[in-house]
Structure 1
């Protein structure tokens, strides 16, 4: 294959089967000997982990809102340089984003327009047949800059069902490149923040292989490859990337701490930083030779009892924080506080390096893009810097601290939300996940 090809897998909504189709296609094309790269539009940690497991290379987020055009281009260019084909999976529906400046809505449609990538539309046709053609026609005509190149029918109930839907779609001029029969074994396990993470899926390799088998039988892979377009990003630079927070970064990494964007870790390492992982759940402390400690998001509320009992972790964090910067995002921020109240209402003592307490029993969803203006220097930037990212959690602060706020937060459109996070000494944290400099 000469040059890199690419296409986008989109759908009308979440839950249409995009991720299963993407994982299966990634592995099926890898079986053909192609260098395959998975990408995810929008702020998503979990799907890139499945992409990486299917391809053997780290996934990447291509977020048109959070990433400045130059950074987006640099990441896309790197993908194209290291792959024969890039498959970008849409977050939510293909056109779902925020009303921002043109090309920076966060929707996968932005990537389709910018890179002239065709879209493979996954339609869940359960409960409908010919009506699927009306949905497909709407997608094909909604935005002239977005090309719907082919359709995959998902959750098909019978051969007659397939024929009715496929014939109607092809009559409007769109090729149907495959149909996947309804099969409960294709369902991916979920929890409150979405899918169970790839690292927690005990039968992950078997699942990926089964998805690839299904795609090889159900889809016309040769037609799909023929629909792909040359992926030739104009390139850019990494000036808006978050710089490494230190030369040696102690990174909490286990089932409780997993939400670190692959583009962050990759950039830090390419800049010469060393990531030194440790496991709080295994009662490990950060390496004292490191110069910064990062507690990423994850699911600490599911492991609060073990974290509360991890004495070596607690003592090591206290020693480290006495002289070195420590930063926590979302779940990491919760662990830096005084306590976490789990889903059953039981309170568990946390590190106490910040003064707040959080509850998962009193749930309230917080979701959306965020712009953070930092009030002080910290591992994600210097005072006065604006950082773009997002917030997605169900926990809420039940005992506010007297610590100073870390940042002033606005939503994706710039509407002020208020002070966010906390800072005390060398310790900082916030529910906000940093993606890139604004």
Structure 2
């Protein structure tokens, strides 16, 4: 219920940006455009703590070096960005350098925001200065110990990994493709989660020229899905309409959003225009297949369902599935999509890395809220119901059933992720 109220409150705040401070002579159209762009960037998801005020910061983010906390980006002059000029704002957004000169951690996706053009920076600045409520809330220092918390090495990191060029439309590509590329690579910062990281914790690619771009990545105990054209773990079997539907509603005939993607749907993509959603879909569907599980393209096999029926009644995995999973996901693995997520051919089920499946089984899902209405059948948590062995067995049952042909899950994988998410 709290997630629903938080989403509604945030939506009301953002919706009011169109008329914010109009009486003070501020360009309300520019503020409204900035509000839309802030949704495209999903700024509120990271800069709002649970039960906190929008954009006041304080959200805990886990990094390999320790926890950091997002900052207050309301226009408060003492604790927020109220004293930032438009130039200061743009430098922080696109270069990762705060007004006082200290470098921001690249958990702030400025390598993506570097692609944002000047006009959009101006609109965003207008919104954050005039369309966001001021909140006086001090920023919390990171938990990263000395000397790892020293900021000067980030200057070297930027010199090696930051491409500061604003996005330039690709010659020979349609306007919709270029718009989709701009949103995906820039404000949408999709690569921040969906592209694997290198030894310097940098994204291995920042656009479609890199073979690893959007091929999936492990982040914060979730595996962000492959968004390339791979037929099994990616979007190869999805149409452009499927992609747009998923971004608009959080579900389609192939999969349902969970994990941090729920926040993306709740606060960002469902609010985008149809033309922008279609542009993103067109761009994503143009990406060549990368990654995958190495298996042949998935095809549903009805005989595989019969094989499940024929398994011994005492099969532990089958008993767990029949008791806890079958009523929502179906004996045939097709469930009742898009209301309930299918398991047969679901890219998250077919993915080699099972982190997301383990995590969502242990911890369930937060509320997916579309147009103010929460999804009717959220995934419950089973951490206190099933043992690590039972979870490993039932996930293996799913990943090998219905012709899925995905690797088995080991109990030790569940044990490690249970510990990691309990300590978080």
Could you state the TM-score of these two structures normalised by the residue count of structure 2?
0.26
Structure with the bigger percentage of strand? 1
Could you state the TM-score of these two structures normalised by the residue count of structure 1?
0.26
Structure with the bigger percentage of helix? 2
